[in-house]
Structure 1
Amino acid sequence: MNSLTMKKKYQVLSLFANIGVAEAYLEEIGFHVAVANEIIKKRAKLYSEIYPQTKMICGDITLPDVYESIIETSKKNNVNIIIATPPCQGMSTAGEQDENDERNKLVIPAIRSIIDIKPKYAMIENVPNFTNTSIEYNGEKKLLTDIIIAQLSKSYNISINIINTQDYGVPQSRERMIILLSRKDMEEWIIPSKDKELVTLEDAIGWIPQIDPFVKDLPKEEFYKIFPNYEQRKKVALSISKWNIPPVHVYRQVEAMMYTPSGQSAFDNPIHKPIKKDGTYVKGYKNTYMRQRWGTPAYTITMDNRKISSQGNVHPGRFISHGINGEDIYSDPRTLTLYELMLVMSLPKDWALPNNAEEAFVRRIIGEGIPPLFIKKLFNNIPNKQ
């Protein structure tokens, strides 16, 4: 990228950058992530492999030397947009919703960075429950949103929005809170209009041929008797992407899903219900051991997306045949492959994920991210783009 091209782009600072899922389309639409910060070394290293032109500052933003390095490097690179996506585990409904979780306070250095850098625009993203979360601040219990307004409203127009990414062309239902800050000498940045039609899971991954799961606890002869086309289907799957292979499963879970139709839980099966290793029935919620639906956007992708026993993780499947006990049999009794998850997250098919990336590691991270297609549409809505 030459210097002339760089001058034409907005320069972005990404805080709590993880491996850069949100940023996947920004470069192509005129936004260069010049600086990024991530505390976990493994994540920071992978980020740098995916985005080698970004200056990654790995370290704890609450430490003075790390914070000053972020600010100085951002000013040197003329950063004029800040993205802040602080950890949500203390606020998420999928977590403990612990107001005393120290990670809830990480929005404070993000606020400080906006004050110090004075960008034209900034975005703070988190789970919807962010708006109901309080922290101890200057000796008082205060809502995070009230702190943001108190600290930044003199210099910025602030809008607080709850959106569902399925309304913006993403084949996944994922609710997020988006705070947009527009410096008062700039035209206001607003949420884009919703798309007229939803993109379904079938739109996203329905073209991918059947893939059988690999079962770790069956003798090879028995496994190939149940899945005689495993090797052939695996070869076709890998010809699409090296990431297009499902996790290893245990047979008792796979068997329950073989008899579970699209959009339903194996708990509703008349015969083949989920069982434990000792043969007793599993007790659980009916949004577990559950297949996705073809005709709607996918359920929210979680960090535990490799588990059949977790929430709504199983491929929708297709009818294969009638079983001898009157139960129908369905294909793909497995969780989604990493490649399918990337498509459901709206990541580009050619996303530069290194071949040596750790599959289980990336799967968990994807469950934390915000779909980049929404970010693309949001950033395309910035007024007077350079």
Structure 2
Amino acid sequence: MKVLSLFANIGVAEAYLSQIGVEVAVANELIDRRANLYSQIYPETQMICGDITNNTVYTDIINAAKQTDIDVIMATPPCQGISRAGKQHKNDVRNLLILPVIDAIKDLKPKYVFIENVPQFMETYIEVAGSDVLITDYIKSELAGDYDISVNLIDTKNYGVPQTRQRTIILMTRKDICRKWDIPEPSDSLVSLEDAIGNLPPLDPFVKDVSEDELLALFPEYYLKLDAARQVSPWHFPPEHIKRQVITMIHTPTGKTAFDNEKYVPIKADGKPVRGYKSTYRRLRWCDPASTVTMDNRKISSQNNVHPGHYLGTDDNGDVLYSDARALSLFELMRVMSLPDDWPLPHDANSAFVRSIIGEGIPPMFVKRVFENII
């Protein structure tokens, strides 16, 4: 089974497909940096880098897909103009990127189509021929004659992924194909954060605004822990934080926000208390799947990013102490996204870049489960 992947980014969604006999034969990505990294991870895929709305690029994509006789189009158009995490401008041109996807479906007539986006995709209008129309209604009006179309709202935590991540999934089956593509049945049990990362070595945060002596005074085992973590994965190392944020998280229990601390509240550089949502400065819970991974996943001050930690006891003042006062490492994020431990990420990949990209992706374990339904 051969796939054309549109808006492929660095290929997070594709991570398991080759294991189940699915070949991503052709991929398209707009941004050079992403396309280059994709090609390093998936060297056998023909990557066409460029703007799909450009006629030359679009033609190259269609011709390559025809030459390889693709069976499936998988499209994950950008969500920044739609997602509640973005500005949700009605006229964001990225919302119109569904149009070349529809054109590609008409030109290639694949057996199956997989379209993924944020939940708000089902509520978003675009302007077509001077009229506002829901994206999902427009898809049906253009393609329902040739395809059976199902629009689904799912949460990836119900499909073996240790992360709560709601998505709109549109599956299409060409009407002459007898096996209809449906969303798989949800799992009976959830994969918790402890299941996913509980066996990984602990890490102390790297505190960037102190000297090395001060760092070791705070965390005497910093380098011992870092060495142990590196034995597991070169991507298991702590992000950088500032001391005042680290201190407040040291005294914040598992599953709690530092805003609930009576003594060690989050403070600004001038010593004044930080004002923010209680979803920030918050430790995750071991017993649940992780919260939705966002692009801004390096910061303690962003939403639901902090490692759950372990209770260490109390200090000389009787204040409680918890380990891992940091955001998740890149390797922990990879596991939360259900990426395989041996995903061939090049050793020289920029970790900050990869972290942000992971926050855009769809967990590949879910994609695998969906594709298994038509294998």
> What TM-score does the superposition give when structure 1 sets the normalisation length?
0.96
Task: Map 1:309-324 to 2 at 5 A.
Answer: 309-324=301-316
Note if 1:204 corresponds to 2:196.
yes
Post-superposition offset of 1:306: 0.2
Partner residue of 2:47 out of 52, 56, 62: 56
Task: Map 1:193-342 to 2 at 5 A.
Answer: 193-342=185-334
In the alignment, the residues of structure 2 paired with residue 345 and residue 113 of structure 1 have an alpha-carbon distance, to the nearest angstrom, of 29
Task: Map 1:96-245 to 2 at 5 A.
Answer: 96-186=87-177, 187-245=179-237
Note if 1:88 corresponds to 2:47.
no
Q: State which drifts further: 287-296 or 325-334.
A: 325-334
Query: In the alignment, which residue of structure 2 is the partner of 1:352?
Result: 344
In the alignment, the residues of structure 2 paired with residue 167 and residue 253 of structure 1 have an alpha-carbon distance, to the nearest angstrom, of 33
The one-letter amino acid of 1:251's match is K
| SS in structure 2 of the partner of residue 261 of structure 1 | coil
1:177-235 Cα distance to aligned partner (Å, 9 max, x none): 00000000112100000100000000000001210011011122222111000010010
Post-superposition offset of 1:27: 0.7
**Structure 2 unaligned runs (5+)?**
none
The one-letter amino acid of 2:45's match is T
In the alignment, the residues of structure 2 paired with residue 148 and residue 262 of structure 1 have an alpha-carbon distance, to the nearest angstrom, of 44
Query: In the alignment, which residue of structure 1 is the partner of 2:360?
Result: 368
In the alignment, the residues of structure 2 paired with residue 110 and residue 256 of structure 1 have an alpha-carbon distance, to the nearest angstrom, of 47
Q: State which drifts further: 334-343 or 87-96.
A: 87-96
In the alignment, the residues of structure 2 paired with residue 40 and residue 218 of structure 1 have an alpha-carbon distance, to the nearest angstrom, of 37
The one-letter amino acid of 2:204's match is D
> What TM-score does the superposition give when structure 2 sets the normalisation length?
0.99
Post-superposition offset of 1:303: 0.1
The one-letter amino acid of 2:71's match is N
Count of residue correspondences: 374
Post-superposition offset of 1:327: 2.6
The one-letter amino acid of 1:15's match is L
**Structure 1 unaligned runs (5+)?**
1-9
In the alignment, the residues of structure 1 paired with residue 275 and residue 317 of structure 2 have an alpha-carbon distance, to the nearest angstrom, of 23
In the alignment, the residues of structure 2 paired with residue 132 and residue 208 of structure 1 have an alpha-carbon distance, to the nearest angstrom, of 40
In the alignment, the residues of structure 2 paired with residue 374 and residue 83 of structure 1 have an alpha-carbon distance, to the nearest angstrom, of 14
Post-superposition offset of 1:104: 0.5
The one-letter amino acid of 1:158's match is I
Query: In the alignment, which residue of structure 1 is the partner of 2:3?
Result: 12
1:3-24 Cα distance to aligned partner (Å, 9 max, x none): xxxxxxx110000000000000
Runs of 4+ in 1 over 6 A off after TM superposition: none
Query: In the alignment, which residue of structure 2 is the partner of 1:7?
Result: none
Note if 1:40 corresponds to 2:19.
no
Identity %: 57
Task: Map 1:70-85 to 2 at 5 A.
Answer: 70-85=61-76
Post-superposition offset of 1:324: 3.5
In the alignment, the residues of structure 1 paired with residue 45 and residue 360 of structure 2 have an alpha-carbon distance, to the nearest angstrom, of 21
Partner residue of 1:23 out of 14, 19, 27: 14
In the alignment, the residues of structure 2 paired with residue 160 and residue 325 of structure 1 have an alpha-carbon distance, to the nearest angstrom, of 56
1:47-67 Cα distance to aligned partner (Å, 9 max, x none): 000000000000000000000
The one-letter amino acid of 1:121's match is Y
In the alignment, the residues of structure 2 paired with residue 124 and residue 151 of structure 1 have an alpha-carbon distance, to the nearest angstrom, of 15
In the alignment, the residues of structure 1 paired with residue 250 and residue 296 of structure 2 have an alpha-carbon distance, to the nearest angstrom, of 21
In the alignment, the residues of structure 2 paired with residue 305 and residue 298 of structure 1 have an alpha-carbon distance, to the nearest angstrom, of 12
Cα RMSD (Å): 0.7
